[in-house]
Structure 1
Amino acid sequence: MASDNELFNRRKYVKGTMTRLRNSLTSEFLASASEQMLRTKQEHAQSIFKEYIDLTVQVNDDHDPTPVEEAYFVCMDLLRTTLQSRFGTTAAAAKPSGGSNNVTSKLKLPDIQIPPFDGKYLEYKPFIELFTALVHNDSNIVDIQKFVYLRGFLKGEAFDLINNLPIQGSSYSEALTILRDRYDNSHKIVFEHISKLLDLASILRPNVTMLRNLISVAKQHVAALKNLNEPVDKWDSILVCILSRKLDPVTNRAYCLDRNSSQSPTFTDFIKYLETRALALENSSNNDVIGARKVQATAAVTNNHVAKCYYCGVAAPA
């Protein structure tokens, strides 16, 4: 039978093994590991924790100053979350024996689909609002799991900002604060929306696809600016000036001729005109295609009938 000293040393080694296992579960590993590898890691964590409990019972020491429960829970939460998010599966809960320290899992994490956030200012508010609705406000998910979810939905600069935070429950609120301080910048977001309008590609000749894109982009960014409490209702002349300079000369000239010159142009009327223009271009393009097909069909009929001898049906020489 092993001595108490040997049991204490063995328990110390087991604790170190659990720590090393937790440290091995990096975001890079979790993102690339196979399902079988993740399940193997789960089984390894369960085996380590079971041995730790058995050793604790044998040495009769329930007051370990540095227990491994937290490391074990972190490992299992990370692995269960990754299995669920990447493969849509979870593993059975671990039930280590020995004493009253059995571990059970009562929560099946939801399969959440949120577009990743990589640090673009214009994408922060949509991302954080969706994350808040699907994860943050879910009382069934504990903070450490929310933090794991948050890490999984970040990439690039945004991920780098919180990458060094320890994987524990208290890091969740700190990570949210870091992201908010970095990206919740209303003035920067407003400038980004305006820049997108200014940087719209110019249309060199009538093109329905580019015109539709200009309409869509303009409406989206103006709506976003309005949601940011910018006085876009008073920007009609500025918006029309910016967007009209992006039009091809033919469309721009047609707009100037068609609009009522006795009234100041409005953004709404300008967009309605462009939508009507785009529809006309589409119809004209369709008619051109139909006309071209009719010409081709007529030519084919002519070639099939006129080019043959009337009496014998043999094709006439070219």
Structure 2
Amino acid sequence: EFDVTVARLKRRLADAYTELQGIVDYSRNAVQDPTKVPAFKGVFRTLEKYFEKYETTYEDLVDQYHAAGLSTEFPVKKDLEQLANAKRYYKQSNMNFEIISKKEADDAAAAAAQRFPAPIVNPGNITVTSDTRSSNLPRISLPKFDGQYTAWPKFRDMFSSLVDKDDKLSNMEKFHYLSSSLSGNAAAVISHLALEEANYAIAWQSLLDTFDKKRLLANSYLNHVLQFKQHVGKPNSKDLLRYLSSVADSISALKLLNITDLSEFILFFIAFRNLDSHTK
């Protein structure tokens, strides 16, 4: 049974590694050749999935060998080297995506400036009110969003208030502000849409469909509490306050989701969390 399980896990590990290699190759080609960008964006959406698959499978293999008393057989040097490569592929793919996204944002801003000769307000300097009496009010910067679920509600509420519901802004301007505020996985969600006025509503709805999900938000908040890493070394009041503040924020955000049968959801989450990756 041990041999069968290990063989299956090693195939799974090899498959995930091959996918990560392919994604980083796509990213390198896309940085050099703009015509390769759409293909890279297509596979980039799977990066998190395959990297998580690689990590969890690697950990499962370590556990299997340890339980069998064969810890010296895995990981060996080549396994550690492959793990380091997988992490490097993951980081480089994300870095190349950021490079491409920045270039596209710069190109989009230049195109928007040509299409709309009137000065476009810097996304970091938008004010909440348009009344002339607001001229002395401090300017409010738009939030940034990289795809982390815990950051979504704040971004959604601020962007909706400052931009989406502002009738004085055209959809083209709103789309420009939106694309300038996104990075990482969030930017990937709308990367297939051209920067056109008609696409703004589609882009905003795509973000809502992807991130505005109560259960996934709840999972993120609970993970934030349960995976909190204690400061290494002698505990102090500052670290304790940081922990209490983090827990309180997550609990408050969790309650605001108004999930039906919250206690049952939490119990299920804890039980599911303890399952191994294969059973999940």
TM tier relative to shorter chain: 0.3 to 0.5
Larger Rg: 1
**RCO (CA 8 Å, sep 6+): is it higher in 1 or 2?**
2
Q: Which structure has more helix as a fraction of its residues?
A: 2
TM-score, structure 2 normalization: 0.46
